[in-house]
Amino acid sequence: MSRIITVGRQFGSGGRELGKRLSDELGVPYYDREIISEIAKRTELAEEYVHRIVEQRPEYHFPITVGRTLQGGASDYLMQQYASVYAEQTNVIRELAERSDCVIVGRCADYILRDRKPLRIFVYADMDFRMARCRERGQKDEVASERKLRRKILAVDRNRRRYYRSYTGQAWGNPANYDICLNTAGTDIKAMAHALAVMIKADQE
Amino acid sequence: MSRIITVGRQFGSGGRELGKRLSDELGVPYYDREIISEIAKRTELAEEYVHRIVEQRPEYHFPITVGRTLQGGASDYLMQQYASVYAEQTNVIRELAERSDCVIVGRCADYILRDRKPLRIFVYADMDFRMARCRERGQKDEVASERKLRRKILAVDRNRRRYYRSYTGQAWGNPANYDICLNTAGTDIKAMAHALAVMIKADQE
């Protein structure tokens, strides 16, 4: 039985680490930033720009007032870009899942691959834990101030929620859309990844 | 390291089975209905009556109009009964957790034992899965009609939600209050219990 694993995650919760460890445990590829690079290549857009697009809801890329006063052309062009990025995201993710079992982090993969019945994991934790984790692992600019870090975490999550809602029509982080939701605060991500691998392997036998 | 496991569960989701299997895997006692029996013994109330109380929010045991028109005495007496049942529930659960590692299903144990930092599991599934599971396992009267079964499931969940909210001030089934949320629809509960046991044992080493 083939098994695709998708990982949705709150910012700073350790979803990326869990996904990476899980892919190591299972000996399958792990896709995260690679998807962005591939979309960038195919759409001939800059990687950073694609990254910004796939983490935000289309209409939030420019102020509403600007969107309203644009004379059609520029606004249409932007909307087309977002649509083509999402279309390529769908293509890339489907192709990767066709190629082999894998772990895919973020990017609405759970929804895009719903016909393949992936194991859908969502990773979350309380704000204190996520702030501490960001501090521990962050670059210098991320540890500037308590308030700034909290704001950044909330902003990234808000964008993910909007993006997910826009393209899937579902609520991001709602347990009903996932098979397993994991609170990483106070638990050992390594042990968690190992246990998940045990379960997935048992299910494949 | 001692480890207490609490299992909250939507009606019909298989939380009971998961808890039982987990206790077998870990070789620790499993408490569910036993708690009711012990409360009944201590409060000298009938077991069925205690069961009804711990699955419902106090004020829902008698029609609001009756509650309003009662001349104090009877209403006070009932409220005292609920309070004493909850107090005994707290005592029994704390004593069981003192005695040894264990798996406790329902009864606000996650909240009552919060100082012990239990592993808090919540088990859920979509309505179709739960209805099918109830049908498979239910007694004859439970398979009467589609509509009746759906109503029963919704009513039990509503009561659990109210009871939990009354005594903990928290939202039942909100991922923030649990460490792991498991969707049992389409997954193998046996494999899930085994994987959880692997994780818990790894954490104890």
B78-121 pLDDT, tens digit per residue, is: 777 778 888 888 888 999 899 899 999 988 999 999 999 999 99
Measured between beta carbons, the chain B residues lying within 8 angstroms of A182 are 179-181
Answer whether residue B77 shows pLDDT above 80: no
pLDDT in tens, B28-56: 999 988 888 888 888 888 888 888 777 76
Name the band, by pLDDT with cuts 50, 70 and 90, for residue B142.
Answer: low
Nearest CA in chain B to A191: B199
Residues of B near A (CB-CB distance < 8 A)?
117, 124, 126, 173, 175-176, 178-183, 186-188, 191-192, 194-196, 198-199, 202-203
Nearest to A199 among B173, B179, B192 (CB): B192
Q: What is the pLDDT of residue B65?
A: 44
Instruction: Return the HEC string of chain A.
Output: CCCEEEEEECCCCCHHHHHHHHHHHHCCCEECHHHHHHHHHHHCCCHHHHHHHHCCCHHHHCCHHHHHHCCCHHHHHHHHHHHHHHHHHHHHHHHHHHHCCEEEECCCHHHHCHHHCCEEEEEECCHHHHHHHHHHHCCHHHHCCHHHHHHHHHHHHHHHHHHHHHHHCCCCCCHHHCCEEEECCCCCHHHHHHHHHHHHHHHHC
| Choice between B191 and B141, residue whose per-residue pLDDT is larger | B191
Q: pTM for the complete prediction?
A: 0.85
Nearest CA in chain A to B180: A182
Cβ of B195 and A191 within 8 Å? no
Q: Quick check: ipTM above 0.85?
A: no
Q: What is the pLDDT of residue A49?
A: 82
Nearest CA in chain B to A178: B183
CA distances A96 to A89, A113, A129, B159, Å, are 11, 10, 33, 45
Cβ of B176 and A126 within 8 Å? yes
Cβ of B179 and A176 within 8 Å? no
Measured between beta carbons, the chain A residues lying within 8 angstroms of B188 are 202-203
Q: Measure A18 CA to nearest chain B CA, in Å.
A: 14
Nearest to B196 among A178, A195, A203 (CB): A195
Cβ of B199 and A178 within 8 Å? no
Nearest to B191 among A173, A181, A203 (CB): A203
Nearest CA in chain B to A200: B191
Cβ of B180 and A178 within 8 Å? no
Preferred mutation among A5, A21, A129, A198 to probe B, highest tally of B CBs within 10 A: A198
Measured between beta carbons, the chain A residues lying within 8 angstroms of B186 are 117, 179
Q: Measure A47 CA to nearest chain B CA, in Å.
A: 34
CA distances A61 to A50, A89, A141, B204, Å, are 12, 18, 23, 47
Q: Measure A74 CA to nearest chain B CA, in Å.
A: 42
Q: What is the pLDDT of residue B52?
A: 78
Measured between beta carbons, the chain A residues lying within 8 angstroms of B173 are 175
Q: What is the pLDDT of residue A66?
A: 44
Q: What is the pLDDT of residue B57?
A: 55
Nearest to B188 among A183, A186, A203 (CB): A203
What one-letter code names the amino acid at B125?
A: A
Mean pLDDT: which of A16-20, B192-196, B198-202 is highest?
A16-20
* A35: Cβ contacts below 8 Å, ≥ 6 apart: A89, A92, A93, A96, A104, A107
Cβ of B191 and A178 within 8 Å? no
Nearest CA in chain A to B186: A179
Per-residue pLDDT 10s for chain A (205 aa) are: 458 999 999 999 999 999 999 999 999 999 988 888 888 888 888 888 888 777 765 554 444 444 444 455 666 777 777 788 888 888 889 998 999 999 999 889 999 999 999 999 999 999 999 998 988 887 555 556 888 889 989 999 998 998 898 888 999 999 999 999 999 998 889 988 998 898 888 776 6
